[in-house]
């Protein structure tokens, strides 16, 4: 029996318009923990989804336990012994622990109709004994902590006699103590011969738990290194890729004097003790990985989520309980998901631009249509929105033009502080440049901008100053002149 349990070779996968994986390889030994790392969009998840039958590969081979396989759904992969524990746990919260573990395989009578609940719970108990974990099979999932829910997922995977267990960011929602427990279980699994693919952004964890590290970047395989002899710095530079040269903004930090926004100790369910300030005419970049809490900071400032802490606009403490309050103080928020939160797609360009300022165009409850048209046209022209007329429905415009309409909306509303959340998401390369120019123009005109972006190139290119977040906290602040991809990435993966 070879020590290799899995060998993936030359895996290719394309989605309409995107090459997600090109010639990716990965090999895995029995009883080892292989860390799989890469930036957002590097292709880790796609590769794992192919391995577990959620996606099908276009090309390449998967040799599992000496045989070529091509699982076409998760159940098939499970039966082969390949299990994944997603970051978003896949459990039924209203069912019990045992019901979840044996869903679809519950012990039944001869008619296959009536359930044998006693046996079900017994089997679960036996499983827990074997795994040496203490869980009550009769407890509902919704009553368990995330850590225990994860135990249930692990137990479920092992009840299929898993030979490969994939864990996607398993520690993201765990406390330090729970992490130790999880690592104990992982060590035990290793000794039992289970091979584990461990996806995480926390470098120090990889050092602690993994045997080898495979790095991916932009849908390609980069390298596999033995953990013991590898420095974190080395891994980070492989992740980021040195050969990428980027334009970096030259910014004079002394140019900005007046503080327009000051945020102190912002805290809620998602974010912890976030403090920063924003100066007039400045572009402040917020860098971090997906889920670092950047959007949550924006939503709190905008009054979309409740929070504790203090917000000062132009030196005065303000009360922001809902978006209406934020807008009143001149804060505009451009959501990362503009189709869901930013635009009324079925309505016209004109209607979308004036929607927040409607009161200015109305006497009593009646809307005055004449000014609306001229003003909407004025803003559409200023932002170079490409549309046959302002009566065009927004749905029919390109992503870049839709983004401009959201910007126009807040400019018309006289917002001086603009929060851009992933301003170029879903916008093609040419239009990105236009959005960049627009942001710079706005800053030069004295608007103050917070820009959240997951693209480091974008952050370095536009920001005057950079805040880096991880796990709901600010892990660092850099002036653009001191920042580079490596030190941002290091801060973004720093676990407190």
Q: Which residues here bind other proteins, judged by CB under 8 A?
A: 73-75, 78, 90-95, 99, 103-104, 106, 108, 112-115, 132-136, 139-140, 142-143, 147-148, 151, 181, 184-185, 188
Token digits of residue 472: 């709901």
CB of 269 to other proteins, least distance (A): 13
- Taking the least distance from each CB to other proteins, the nearer of 160 and 341 is 160
Q: What is the CA radius of gyration of the chain?
A: 26
CB of 74 to other proteins, least distance (A): 5
| Cβ proximity to other proteins, 137 vs 472, nearer residue | 137
Residue 166 beta carbon to other proteins: minimum distance, rounded to whole angstroms: 14
State which residue, 60 or 137, has the beta carbon closest to other proteins: 137
Rounded to a whole number of angstroms, the minimum distance from the CB of residue 172 to other proteins is 18
Burial bucket for residue 390 (CB in 10 Å: 0-12, 13-18, 19+): buried
184 or 252, CB closer to other proteins? Answer: 184
Whichever of 23 and 184 has its CB closer to other proteins, that residue is 184
3-class DSSP state of 188: helix
State the nearest-atom distance from the C-beta of 144 to other proteins, in Å. 8
Compare residues 45 and 454 and give the one whose CB is closer to other proteins. Answer: 45
How far is it, in rounded angstroms, from Cα 9 to Cα 29? 15
b/e per residue 280-310 (b: at least 16 CB within 10 A):
bbbbbbbbbbebbbbbbbbbbbbbbbebebe
Measured CA to CA in angstroms, residue 395 lies from 194, 356, 391, 494 at distances of 50, 19, 12, 41
Cβ neighbour number for residue 432 with a 10 Å cutoff: 18
Q: Which is nearer to other proteins, 184 or 231 (CB)?
A: 184
What is the CA 496 to chain-centroid distance, rounded? 19
Both tokens of 484, joined, read 């580079």
489 burial via Cβ count (<10 Å: 0-12, 13-18, 19+):
buried
| CB of 98 vs other proteins, minimal distance in Å | 11
**Whether the Cβ atoms of residue 135 and residue 152 lie closer than 8 Å to each other:** yes
| Cα 486 to chain centroid, rounded | 19
Toward other proteins, which CB reaches closer, 109 or 243?
109
Residue 143 Cβ vs other proteins, minimum distance, rounded to whole Å: 6
Token pair listed for 413: 């509303």
> Under 8 Å CB-to-CB from 118, ≥6 apart: which residues?
none
Judge contact between 284 and 467, C-beta under 8 A: yes
Residue placing its CB nearer to other proteins in the complex, 100 or 454? 100
- To other proteins, the closest distance from the beta carbon of 147 in angstroms equals 8
Q: Which residues contact 474 (CB under 8 A, 6 or more apart)?
A: 273, 274, 275, 276, 467, 468
């Amino acid at each position: 029996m070879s020590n290799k349990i899995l060998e993936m070779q030359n895996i290719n996968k394309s989605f309409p318009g995107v090459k997600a994986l090109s010639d990716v390889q990965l090999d895995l030994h029995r009883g080892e923990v292989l860390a799989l790392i890469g930036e957002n969009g590097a292709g880790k998840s796609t590769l794992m989804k192919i391995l577990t039958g959620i996606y099908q590969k276009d090309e390449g081979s998967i040799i599992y336990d000496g045989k070529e396989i091509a699982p076409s759904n998760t159940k098939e992969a499970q039966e082969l012994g390949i299990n994944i524990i997603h970051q978003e746990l896949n459990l039924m919260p209203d069912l019990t622990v045992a019901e979840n573990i044996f869903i679809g395989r519950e012990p039944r009578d001869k008619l296959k109709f009536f359930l044998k609940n006693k046996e079900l719970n017994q089997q679960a108990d036996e499983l827990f004994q074997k795994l040496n974990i203490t869980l009550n099979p009769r407890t509902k999932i919704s009553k368990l902590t995330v850590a225990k829910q994860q135990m249930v997922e692990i137990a479920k995977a092992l009840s299929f006699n898993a030979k490969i267990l994939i864990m996607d960011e398993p520690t993201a929602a765990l406390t330090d103590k729970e992490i130790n427990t999880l690592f104990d279980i992982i060590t035990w699994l290793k000794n039992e011969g289970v091979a584990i693919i461990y996806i995480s952004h926390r470098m120090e964890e990889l050092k602690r738990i993994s045997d080898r590290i495979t790095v991916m970047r932009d849908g390609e395989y980069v390298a596999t290194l033995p953990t013991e002899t590898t420095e974190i710095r080395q891994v980070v530079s492989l992740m980021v890729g040195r050969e990428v040269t980027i334009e970096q903004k030259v910014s004079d930090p002394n140019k900005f004097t007046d503080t327009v926004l000051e945020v102190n100790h912002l805290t809620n369910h998602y974010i912890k003790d976030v403090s920063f300030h924003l100066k007039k005419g400045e572009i402040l970049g917020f860098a971090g990985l997906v889920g670092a809490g950047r959007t949550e900071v924006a939503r709190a400032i905008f009054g979309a989520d409740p929070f504790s802490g203090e917000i000062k606009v132009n030196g005065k403490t303000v009360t922001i309980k809902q978006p209406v309050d934020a807008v009143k103080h001149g804060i505009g928020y451009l959501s990362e998901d503009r189709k869901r939160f930013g635009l009324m797609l079925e309505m016209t360009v004109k209607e979308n631009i004036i929607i927040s300022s409607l009161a200015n165009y109305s006497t009593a409850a009646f809307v005055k249509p004449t000014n609306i048209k001229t003003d909407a046209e004025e803003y559409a022209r200023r932002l170079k929105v490409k549309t046959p007329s302002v009566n065009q429905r927004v749905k029919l415009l390109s992503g870049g033009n839709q983004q401009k309409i959201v910007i126009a909306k807040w400019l018309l509303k006289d917002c001086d502080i603009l929060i851009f959340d992933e301003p170029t998401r879903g916008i093609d390369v040419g239009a990105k440049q236009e959005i960049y120019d627009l942001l710079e123009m706005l800053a030069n005109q004295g608007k103050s901008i917070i820009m959240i972006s997951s693209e480091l190139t974008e952050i370095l290119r536009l920001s005057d100053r950079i805040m880096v977040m991880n796990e709901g906290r600010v892990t660092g602040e850099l002036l653009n002149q001191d920042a580079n991809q490596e030190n941002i990435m290091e801060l973004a993966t720093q676990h407190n």
